[in-house]
């Protein structure tokens, strides 16, 4: 909306073009954007010079672009460098003005909206108590709710430190008992902790490619010990030349547009001087649970690799107990045989199902012990079958059998009154059929998502597709790749799900 005001306490937002009335004897035009419910100021600015300015009409180009049309008697009315006309014609009368306002994300950081990194400290304020906006009669008393994460709940500007987004309610009471209300959002910007994918067994002097996930708007910085980054610094894929040393490590750091940072765990690399045939462990342990992933690695420098269980290629994903070895050709085309390793696998509990009703989550598994997770972080002490909702976000439960083997549930995504789940939680019911399969399968009922990709368990991309029709059956063929486990990740702007595919 637009109009004009003589008020020196007219509410404006932090991202405003102008927050102060230049001449209190004259009016300024204003531009104001409200929430859909009309109960919150999303953006507010004054617009004018040292004389009378009036906003009279508004044209919306889209949700964040607007033309404000009005009249001005101000000789110093703000104009842009490329304006059709910058000079004021007649100070005794007025000129028409047309101002284009384009709102960007930072413009919405209003007095009652805060954006912080996880567990950072922010000083709360409100448009009710900001020094340039006076309401009621002094003195005031204050009450903030909830008190979680606040150092004090009865002061004007408390410090808040929370690990998940929280909306605080503020009640301001003046000396005559009048009360004013506001709600203040503290939005916690969580980086997705980066993961580095690539070979952990390499040969001295040779190059290897390492990857991480592509996340929009994130700055990447790679760090490498024991090797040199040959190309790709700042991108999702880097090429590393490993030096003449025993071991090395590579990791990546993310920084988003809010300055929030997170760094991956180091991917430790063993640098080999030669390529003796030996079975290495790329991921997991030889003594394992059936739900654990174990990947054996033949190491670098071999071709025509055949594992004892018939799997072809450098890596072999192991599911059952047994003795494993491989035969291959070395760099001079001589057939060689590796040593062998013995795998012992213990049974894991069945995948649990979690349900959500009236603020309470329940894990539908019995004769097990429990551990709950919120946004992929373990909740301390949350080891019962039931859990009260902490806030909107992603929940899952891990159950353990007597032999300490554990199995995760699928994610349950809670967003206000909208609850969605994965596989057994009904609302997200994407079908992959058949699964297990021979590398050829169908995907259907992808209503919530607009993209999916398939990676191997080391994070290497093997297939991806944009989803144009959520009711279409998509046929996928990854049969040219090795047998074993693959992840399929469905995603949209604010939702995701991850499922396993077994190619046999």
Rounded-to-integer distance, Cα 331 and Cα 329, Å:
7
Give the model's pLDDT for residue 37: 57
Going by pLDDT thresholds of 50, 70 and 90, the confidence category of residue 417 is very low
Residue 3 has pLDDT above 60, yes or no: yes
Opening angle at CA 482, ends 332 and 209, nearest 5: 65
Query: In the numeric block, which tokens belong to residue 475?
Result: 């046929």
Rounded-to-integer distance, Cα 459 and Cα 155, Å:
49
DSSP tag of 265: P
Nearest to 396 by CA among 496, 317, 488: 496
Going by pLDDT thresholds of 50, 70 and 90, the confidence category of residue 133 is very low
Give the model's pLDDT for residue 480: 82
| 212 and 184 Cβ atoms separated by less than 8 Å | no
Give the model's pLDDT for residue 493: 59
Rounded-to-integer distance, Cα 53 and Cα 184, Å:
32
Pairing of the two strands 122-123 and 95-102: unpaired
Tokens 């992933």, residue? 293
pLDDT tens figures, 75-91: 888 888 888 887 776 65
| 432 and 440 Cβ atoms separated by less than 8 Å | no
Residue 427 has pLDDT above 90, yes or no: no
Percent of the chain predicted with pLDDT > 70: 86
Tokens 């799997």, residue? 311
Phi, psi of 87 (to 5 degrees): -90, 140
Segment among 42-56, 87-101, 263-277 with least mean pLDDT: 87-101
Nearest to 319 by CA among 309, 304, 332: 309
Give the model's pLDDT for residue 418: 43
Going by pLDDT thresholds of 50, 70 and 90, the confidence category of residue 328 is very high
* pLDDT, average across residues 193-208: 87
Q: Which CATH fold would you assign to the domain 431-503?
A: Immunoglobulin-like (2.60.40)
* pLDDT, average across residues 312-329: 92
Tokens 């104009």, residue? 79
Pairing of the two strands 179-189 and 113-117: parallel
* pLDDT, average across residues 217-231: 91
pLDDT tens figures, 472-496: 788 899 988 877 778 888 877 556 6
DSSP string, 408-445: EPPPEEEETTEEEESGGGSSS--EEESSSBSSEEEEE-
* pLDDT, average across residues 111-116: 70
Q: Which CATH fold would you assign to the domain 201-272?
A: Immunoglobulin-like (2.60.40)
| CA within 13 Å, CB half, 27 | 13
Residue 105 has pLDDT above 50, yes or no: no
Residue 148 has pLDDT above 60, yes or no: yes
Going by pLDDT thresholds of 50, 70 and 90, the confidence category of residue 124 is confident
pLDDT tens figures, 444-478: 766 667 888 888 766 778 888 888 776 678 889 99
Give the model's pLDDT for residue 422: 38
Segment among 35-39, 381-385, 408-412, 421-425 with least mean pLDDT: 421-425
Q: Which CATH fold would you assign to the domain 113-189?
A: Immunoglobulin-like (2.60.40)
Going by pLDDT thresholds of 50, 70 and 90, the confidence category of residue 348 is confident
Give the class (CATH, top level) of 354-418: mainly beta
Rounded-to-integer distance, Cα 414 and Cα 358, Å:
12
Give the model's pLDDT for residue 151: 92
Pairing of the two strands 484-491 and 451-456: antiparallel
């Amino acid at each position: 909306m637009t109009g004009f005001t003589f008020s020196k306490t007219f509410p404006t937002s932090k991202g405003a073009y102008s927050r102060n009335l230049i001449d209190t004897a004259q009016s300024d035009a204003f531009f104001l954007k409200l929430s859909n419910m009309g109960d919150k100021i999303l953006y507010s600015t004054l617009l004018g010079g040292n004389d009378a300015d009036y906003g009279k009409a508004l044209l919306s180009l889209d949700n964040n672009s607007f033309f404000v049309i009005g009249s001005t008697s101000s000789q110093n009315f703000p104009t842009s460098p490329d304006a059709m006309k910058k000079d004021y014609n007649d100070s005794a009368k007025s000129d028409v003005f047309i101002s284009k306002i384009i709102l960007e994300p930072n413009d919405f950081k209003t007095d009652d909206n805060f954006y912080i990194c996880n567990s950072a400290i922010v000083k709360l304020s409100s448009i009710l108590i900001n020094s340039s906006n006076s309401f009621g009669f002094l003195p005031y008393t204050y009450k903030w709710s909830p008190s979680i994460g606040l150092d004090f709940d009865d002061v004007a500007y408390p410090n808040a430190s929370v690990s998940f987004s929280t909306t605080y309610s503020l009640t301001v009471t003046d000396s005559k008992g009048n009360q004013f209300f506001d709600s203040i959002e503290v939005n916690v910007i969580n980086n997705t902790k980066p993961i580095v994918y690539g070979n952990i067994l390499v040969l001295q002097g040779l190059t290897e490619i390492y990857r991480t996930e592509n996340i929009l708007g994130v700055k990447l910085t790679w760090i490498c010990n024991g090797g040199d980054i040959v190309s790709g610094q700042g991108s999702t894929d880097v090429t590393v030349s490993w030096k003449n040393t025993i071991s090395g490590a590579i990791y990546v750091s993310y920084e988003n547009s809010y300055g929030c940072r997170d760094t991956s765990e180091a991917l430790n690399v063993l640098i080999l001087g030669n390529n003796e045939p030996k079975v290495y462990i790329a991921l997991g342990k030889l003594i394992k649970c059936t739900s654990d992933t174990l990947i054996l690695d033949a190491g670098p420098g071999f071709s025509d690799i055949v594992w004892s269980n018939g799997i072809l290629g450098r890596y072999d994903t192991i599911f059952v107990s047994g003795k494993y070895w491989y035969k291959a050709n070395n760099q001079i085309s001589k057939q060689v045989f590796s040593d062998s390793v013995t795998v012992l696998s213990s049974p894991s509990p069945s995948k649990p199902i979690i349900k959500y009703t009236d603020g309470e989550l329940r894990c539908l598994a019995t004769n097990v012990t429990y551990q709950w997770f919120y946004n992929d972080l373990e909740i301390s002490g949350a080891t019962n079958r039931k859990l009260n909702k902490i806030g909107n976000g992603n929940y899952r439960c891990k159950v353990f059998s007597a032999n300490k083997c554990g199995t995760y549930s699928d994610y349950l995504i809670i967003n206000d009154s909208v609850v969605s789940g994965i596989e057994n939680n009904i609302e997200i019911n994407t079908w992959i059929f058949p699964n297990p399969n021979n590398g050829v399968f169908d995907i259907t009922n992808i209503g919530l998502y607009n993209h999916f990709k398939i990676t191997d368990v080391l994070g290497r991309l093997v297939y991806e597709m944009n989803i144009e029709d959520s009711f279409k059956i998509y046929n996928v063929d990854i049969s040219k790749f090795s047998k074993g486990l693959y992840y399929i990740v469905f995603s949209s702007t604010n939702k995701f799900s991850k499922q396993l595919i077994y190619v046999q």
